Structure 1
Amino acid sequence: MGTNRFILRKQEDFHRNKKEGIVLKDNEQLYRTLFLEAIDAIVFWDRSGRILLANEAALKIFECTMEEFMGKKLWDFVYLENGQNCQWLDKLNQTKAVRDELLFKMPNGQLKHLEFTSKYMSAEKYHITIFRNVSDRYQMEQTLRDSEERFRKVFEGSFDGMVLWNWDFKILDINPVAAEYFGCRREEVIGKTLHALLHTDDDEKIQKDFLRHLFKLKENGVADYLITVPRTNYTKYYEIISKGNLTSNMNLTVIRDITEKRAMQEQLRKSDTLNIVGELAAGIAHEIRNPMTALKGFIQLLQSSMKEEEHSLYFNVITSELARIESIITEFLVLAKPQATQFQNHDIRKIMSDTIDLLNAQALMHNIQISCHFHEPLPDVYCEGNQIKQVFINIIKNAIEVMPNGGNIGIKIQYEKGKQLIHTSIRDEGEGIPEDKIEKLGEPFYTTKERGTGLGLMISYKIIKEHKGMIDVESKVGEGTIFHIYLPTQNG
């Protein structure tokens, strides 16, 4: 019995060992297949860096035959710039395992970015490293970085203001121009709402315009509108253009300062109106002047045939109104045809002093004091003296007429050396002009006076423009108005 059990045990051991041998052989075949046909490159190398074994994927990545590859050391392929050390080798020796990415140089000179995982097998005394070519990914990332850098440069260097924001209306970024437009710093507004930047909650009209803009943006993907930003003495105009969904949750708003553009358009509009009025004025003035001459003649004949004091009041009113009509016709003719001009160097102080002498009596009758201050020194102005005097007369007369209960007119003339301009300011203490009416000054027939025609100011604007100067009006309701007149000191 004992002998039989021994034989049976030996038979079982034999079959088990045979079976295990088959399994080991199968496993070895499986690992070999996995090694040879793996998609990723696998390289075995010893501590000196000598390559022991590599699969087909490795040969393909390193572009070598097995014979060429087996005769090299792994770090022969590592691309080192400026003599830098291969830090990953030091790290591998210290930690026995490392995961990194390096630039490798192939035998044909091509550079490839390879991502690798390397481990030291201490029992077998060799390293196993798995490589993956990530050159395409690296190139894509580099392209994205370059694209982002280009966008950043465009964003930061744009002449227009730019704001990036999401559909929660949170500001993601703002460029320097936009920050300057709204008088803020980039760090202050990032993370805040677009409503706070545009002050949409401060005014019901602005809020409605903004909501209309957002609705149009969501509906069409692009929208624009105009916003106004009041400043101390003037108003800035900004054109807002928004593009929705640059990415899944990012919108771009471009802000363009069109204040100067609007001013230029307004000047062109006034200029066109001036030309039209001039053409009309030429015909109208001549048509009216002929019957006016006949009327004046017959009125004088009637007046001489009437008894003394009889109907004298009526004749005085008729004569006064005819004189007023004639003065309007004269103003029409000034607009209608070019005046004979003789530009010379003139002392602006003398022109102003002569003007004040002419109007002083009228000012005193209305209990108005005119004070004048000249800054020294003042260079001559190259101008047509009589025309500049006409401008001063028109503006000072207006100042007198807006203060029926008396007051003061302050006149200052100073030289702005940097701009080579003579700056004349004429201040009154009238009721002032509302902001929305200031920009209409100088238009034909627009006036804030009951019996005015607006032609006096229109002529003044025309004269100053022909002198290559400008008129600016500053006014506050209830406090008065200042007319600023700028004239160049030199021709051209």
Structure 2
Amino acid sequence: MEISDELISDENIKIAKQKNFYFKQSDELYRSLFEEAIDGIVFWDNEGNVLMANQSALKIFECTSEEFLKGNIWDFVLEKNDHFNSLLKKFYELGEIRDELLFLMPNGQLKQLEFTAKKHFVDGSNMTIFRNASERYKMEKELRESEERFRKVFEGTLDGMVLWNRHYEIIDINPVAADFLKAERDDIIGKSIWDILEDHYKHEIKIHIDELERLGTSDSTLTISSEDGNKYFELSSKGNVASNLSLTVIRNVTEKIGMQEQLQKSDTLSVVGELAAGIAHEIRNPMTALKGFIQLLELSMKEDHSMYFKVIMSELKRIESTITEFLILAKPQAIQFKDNDMRKVMNETLELLNGQALMNNIQFNVEYANELPYVFCEPNQMKQVFINIIKNAIEVMPKGGFITIKMDNKPSDFIHIVIEDEGEGIPEKKIKRLGEPFYTTKERGTGLGLMVSYKIIKEHRGKVEVESEVGVGTKFHIYIPVKRN
């Protein structure tokens, strides 16, 4: 069967019309995509001259179509530095690049633009798609600055900080916390909390973490024993501060707790002083009458009752001694500070106590440094301190022994006096309470003697430290400043 030339011609015309229609539709489609694209699209020649740009590009570059078409695409780049030159070289060698640069708009505005460029995309022209990354760049910059600020706070704070995850692994730790744990930061990161804690602290930490998981926050105080005495650390934790991480802040509150204890002692001292001022004179007046009448009765007392008389007089003296200590606390004493040789003051004190020491089979062992500076002090008050401490030493040595008194000038700003006994010693937990009113380690005692002694040393701007070992004995270290305060 033969097909006429006329039919073939009609078919070709039909196909050609369809192609023209599709080409026209495709052209309109691409033009529509080009014009309505969210990203800026720019066509340019090998010299960088702008050939065509869509509306998004004009908006990004803050130009009209006429202004933009007259320009060169690279004229908008802020800095033609080595990085820019290497980008152009790479583009012409590889035919495509993807990067970010800072562009300067005609109105003076700076924009960080990310772009993708293709070489000879159509008809020998090059195409670049631009996207405004200024907001993202700004957010990233703010995020970096925020992270840097947090890092500076994290690293530089005076408190210890530990970041750990829900598996109890340490993600980060600052130098202060690492110092608290006596370890290197790099050795701790990645380890479990339970691996770095000593066994006897794990129970307290578990209670702390259980409360954190239950309530979202937890606060507690951890007591750590050391050679220098107990140290107290305040733990404050907050769960899920970021990405399933918990933050624990560690604060050394040893000094704070010490101040609180000192304040409590001061409050008690104030109450005792007020109490003493109110009742001391009321007790002393009838005491004076009792002593007078007993002395009168002594003249007519039979020998059989002399023992009772001695007991009564002994107890009255003890009551009078207690009243005297109350009065010292209750009101300021008439004192006169002057330069004194502390060795002379101590020797005069030992002479007063020598008889009592001999009766208890106790000897004084004295060791003084050869040259000691004079101390600006009130000698009678210092004698009162030495009497109180040495009498206590005598009373805790019922089987006799030696009481050693040492005196030197170390450190050089102080006279250092050591009074050492060979008694039973004092448990560590009781040492802290020495100097509190009515606290004593003796069966018969008020605790006021040491309280008065601590008060006198404090008024001389000195300090008292107690060192004791159960079964061995006790040392009282007294430091009195040499210079006038």
Q: Same fold by TM (over 0.5)?
A: yes
Q: Distance in 1 between matches of 2:405 and 2:172?
A: 48
Higher mean C-alpha displacement, 360-369 vs 456-465: 360-369
Unaligned runs of 5+ in 1: none
Q: Tell me which residue corresponds to 1:271.
A: 266
Q: How far does the alpha carbon of each residue in 1:131-190 deviate from its partner, in whole angstroms, 9 at most, with x for none? A: 110111110111111111111222222222222223332222222222233323222222
Q: Tell me which residue corresponds to 2:286.
A: 291
CA contact (8 A) 1:171 1:193 kept: yes
Q: Are 2:116 and 1:117 equivalent residues in the alignment? A: yes
Q: Tell me which residue corresponds to 1:191.
A: 190
Distance 1:34 1:270, change over 3 A: same
Offset, 1:216: 3.8
Distance 1:314 1:267, change over 3 A: same
Q: Distance in 2 between matches of 1:161 and 1:489?
A: 39
Q: Are 2:277 and 1:282 equivalent residues in the alignment? A: yes
Q: Distance in 2 between matches of 1:171 and 1:343?
A: 58
Q: Are 2:232 and 1:233 equivalent residues in the alignment? A: no
Matches within 5 A, 1:360-399: 360-375=354-369, 377-399=371-393
Q: Tell me which residue corresponds to 2:418.
A: 425
Q: Tell me which residue corresponds to 1:355.
A: 349
CA contact (8 A) 1:424 1:484 kept: yes
Partner SS, residue 409 of structure 1: strand
Query: Across the two proteins, how many residue pairs are aligned to each other?
Result: 485
Q: Distance in 2 between matches of 1:489 and 1:170?
A: 53
Q: How far does the alpha carbon of each residue in 1:302-329 deviate from its partner, in whole angstroms, 9 at most, with x for none? A: 3332343x23333322222222222212
Q: Are 2:407 and 1:413 equivalent residues in the alignment? A: yes
Distance 1:181 1:284, change over 3 A: same
Higher mean C-alpha displacement, 313-322 vs 442-451: 313-322
Q: Distance in 2 between matches of 1:482 and 1:332?
A: 26
Q: Are 2:155 and 1:149 equivalent residues in the alignment? A: no
Q: Are 2:72 and 1:64 equivalent residues in the alignment? A: no
Q: Are 2:397 and 1:403 equivalent residues in the alignment? A: yes
Q: Are 2:476 and 1:483 equivalent residues in the alignment? A: yes
Higher mean C-alpha displacement, 250-259 vs 126-135: 250-259
Q: How far does the alpha carbon of each residue in 1:23-54 deviate from its partner, in whole angstroms, 9 at most, with x for none? A: 22221221111111111111112222222211
Q: Tell me which residue corresponds to 1:473.
A: 466
Offset, 1:455: 0.8
Percent identity reads: 59
Q: Tell me which residue corresponds to 2:431.
A: 438
Q: Distance in 2 between matches of 1:202 and 1:440?
A: 25
Q: How far does the alpha carbon of each residue in 1:334-365 deviate from its partner, in whole angstroms, 9 at most, with x for none? A: 22221111011122222223333433454454
Partner SS, residue 468 of structure 2: strand
Q: Distance in 2 between matches of 1:146 and 1:377?
A: 62
Q: Distance in 2 between matches of 1:137 and 1:53?
A: 27
Q: Tell me which residue corresponds to 2:307.
A: 313
Q: Tell me which residue corresponds to 2:163.
A: 164
Matches within 5 A, 1:34-49: 34-49=33-48
Unaligned runs of 5+ in 2: none
Offset, 1:195: 4.4
Q: Tell me which residue corresponds to 1:94.
A: 93
Distance 1:138 1:414, change over 3 A: farther
CA contact (8 A) 1:233 1:474 kept: no
Offset, 1:226: 1.5
C-alpha RMSD of the superposition: 2.5
CA contact (8 A) 1:170 1:194 kept: yes
Query: Which of residues 222, 247, 251 is equivalent to 1:252?
Result: 247
Q: Are 2:316 and 1:322 equivalent residues in the alignment? A: yes
- AA at the equivalent of 1:283: G
Q: Distance in 2 between matches of 1:233 and 1:479?
A: 20
Matches within 5 A, 1:169-188: 169-188=168-187
- AA at the equivalent of 2:454: Y
Q: Tell me which residue corresponds to 2:125.
A: 126
